[in-house]
Structure 1
């Protein structure tokens, strides 16, 4: 395996852990598209904590294991990663976690609305949809995810399971995961003081345009 890509997978896992948008046990998966190939590097370890090269597998976008080890429980979620790469040519990183507050919405089967500006800034002006439940790793589960993902939308809740985020780069994917978790936590806290209020629809596009201006200037921020 390419040591540079292995190192980047490990550093991405470290970013996820440092950002806190993950359950305390570190369960989740990170994958990176292999440039110029129909492959990805996928974390096959049971936790992102203490990830080493031995916990990374090289997997074809057709789901075939090409190098490394892939235990069945981790292999069951490979297809939802490969589906994002196959469906979205610009996606370079996919991250799956059980981040606590966002997963609470997934377990409740409730979408996350555009309650914080950062959601609109990262292409989630319509909020984060929920993909209906189906058995882990089944064709039905992957089909449900594909149906739920809207064009330009880099995140989806997995009913009774967790969260899936994806973007051009690992850094952006990690940021999206953090923003989704932040929105979920803020909305749950807001219920103590009257409930969350969504940003007016006519203002959401302005937030996205503002983010694009920051990105063009090399100063994107949330």
Structure 2
């Protein structure tokens, strides 16, 4: 395995845990695309907490194990990672978690609307859609994910399962996962105050343009 990619997977898992957008047991998966190859480095350990290099496998996009070990329970979700890489050349990292508040929306089969500006700023101007349910790792589950993902959209809720985010870099994928969880949590808190209010559609583009302006100027987006 390539030590730099292994380290990047380990660091990304640690960043997900540090973000708080993860369940108490730390269950989830992180994968990173291998440059110039139809392969990915994938976390094969049952938890992202305390992940080490021993909990990483190299897997081809057809699901073949190239290096490392891959327990059946982890192998079952390989296909939803590889589908994102196969469908979108711009995706460099895929993260799956059961982040508590966003997963509550997934269990309720309710999409997350644009209740916070950050969703519009980071490519979710239409909110976070829900992929229909399919048994874990099944062709049906992957087909439902593919059907729900919109062009350019970096996140989707998995009905009765959890959350899937995917982006150009691990840093952006971690960021989006945190934003999705934040939006879900804020909406739940807002229900005690009359309910969340979505940003008007005509103003969402302005939020994205603002984010792009910060990026072009080299200023960190907030």
The runs of 5 or more residues in structure 1 that have no matched partner are none
The equivalences for 1:132-211 within 5 A come to 132-211=132-211
Instruction: Give the TM-score taking structure 1 as reference length.
Output: 0.99
Aligned residues: 222
- Deviation digits for residues 163-182 of structure 1 (CA, Å, limit 9, x no counterpart): 00000000000000000000
What is the TM-score normalised by the length of structure 2? 0.99
Whole-Å separation in 2 of the counterparts to 1:220 and 1:188: 28
Give 1:50-89 correspondences, 5 Å limit.
50-89=50-89
Superposition deviation, residue 220 in structure 1 = 3.4
Counterpart of 2:48 in structure 1 is 48
Is residue 211–residue 220 contact of structure 1 (8 Å, CA) maintained in 2? no
Runs of 4+ in 1 over 6 A off after TM superposition: none
**1:119-140 deviations in Å (ceiling 9; x for gaps):** 0000101000000001000000
Between the aligned partners of 1:190 and 1:3, the Cα distance in structure 2 is: 45
- Once the two structures are TM-superposed, the CA of residue 218 in structure 1 deviates from its matched residue by 1.9
d(CA) in 2 for partners of 1:96 and 1:77? 9
Gaps of 5+ in 2: none
> 1:30 aligns to what SS in structure 2?
strand
